[in-house]
Copies of this chain bind each other. A is one copy, B any other.
Amino acid sequence: VARKQAEAPVKERLSRERIVDSAIALADAEGLEAVTIRRLAQDQGVTPMALYWHFKDKDRLLEGISERLLSLVVRPAVADRSEQPWYEELRDLLAALLAVLRTHPATADLVQQRVLLSEPGLEIAEHALRLLREAGFGPEQAAQLSGHALHSIVTLVTNEPGLMVGEEEGLREERIRLKRVTFQALPPQRFPFMLASADAFTECGNEPAYFDLGLDLFIAGVRAVAPTAAG
């Protein structure tokens, strides 16, 4: 049997799994725009066209990434309704998704656009729909709200202030400083509230509070527009 090489470009066999693995790692390290067919091939020590044997085209590869990440989501168990209302289970479901996406922020947008194209994504959607129907929403509203739920989570991850995936070491502080300076240069009489919030736009002071407010906002909204008094 072939011995595993010690150094960088490990040359086992290529496979869908290996490609998706390295694609996610690359996105985490350098951002989604670094994930190109040619770059992945290079990292695997292989010709770009080799990837086309395993994926029809780049879009299918991105689908593969999305599927993998969604499969990592640990959905909450179906709760006993006498112990936990629908909106708490919904919050747990969204929190589970949030936990995965926070680990791979660069891929969040990717996942969002492809949830309904993979089994694990469909299962999450089905779960959300079930809870929303329980809340009294019709099929159309439940569909729309499940989409908004997903999008709220993605927004939280991708728009966290001060976060920027695939950034050079040490550049972060400089970028934040520069952004802060830009904001503070705004005319105070015209933009007093922007100035007051300048810090909050440039850096996330309190991560747990940030994510909690995001989840609360969505859950509170759904409960408020829910038809049943149960909400």
Residue A118 interfacial (CB < 8 Å)? no
Interface 0/1 of A211-228, CB less than 8 Å to B:
001101110111111000
**CB interface residues, A 143-199, toward B, < 8 Å:** 143-148, 151-152, 155, 159, 161, 186, 190-194, 196-197, 199
CB pair B217–A143 under 8 Å, yes or no, is no
How many A residues touch B, CB cutoff 8 Å? 48
Whole-angstrom CA separation of A145 from B142 in the bound complex: 23
Chain A residues in contact with chain B, CB under 8 A?
116, 122, 125-126, 129-130, 133, 139-148, 151-152, 155, 159, 161, 186, 190-194, 196-197, 199-201, 205-206, 209-210, 213-214, 216-218, 220-225
Listed by A's residue number, 18 A-B pairs whose Cβ atoms lie within 8 Å are: A122-B194, A125-B194, A126-B193, A129-B196, A133-B193, A140-B199, A140-B205, A142-B193, A143-B200, A144-B161, A144-B200, A147-B155, A148-B217, A217-B221, A217-B222, A220-B220, A221-B221, A221-B224
CB pair A122–B217 under 8 Å, yes or no, is no
Chain B residue numbers with a CB within 8 Å of A201 are 116, 143
What is the copy number of this chain in the assembly?
2
**Option from B130, B155, B196, B223 in Cβ contact (under 8 Å) with A151:** B155
Interface centre among A122, A144, A159, A213 (most CB of B within 10 A): A144
Whole-angstrom CA separation of A194 from B126 in the bound complex: 6
A126-B194, A129-B193 known; A159-B152 Cβ under 8 A: no
The A contact surface, by secondary structure, is helix
A200-B140, A225-B217 known; A194-B148 Cβ under 8 A: no
Chain B residue numbers with a CB within 8 Å of A196 are 129, 133, 139
Residue of B nearest to A194 (CB): B126
CB pair B197–A139 under 8 Å, yes or no, is yes
Chain B residue numbers with a CB within 8 Å of A145 are 213, 217
Whole-angstrom CA separation of A192 from B133 in the bound complex: 11
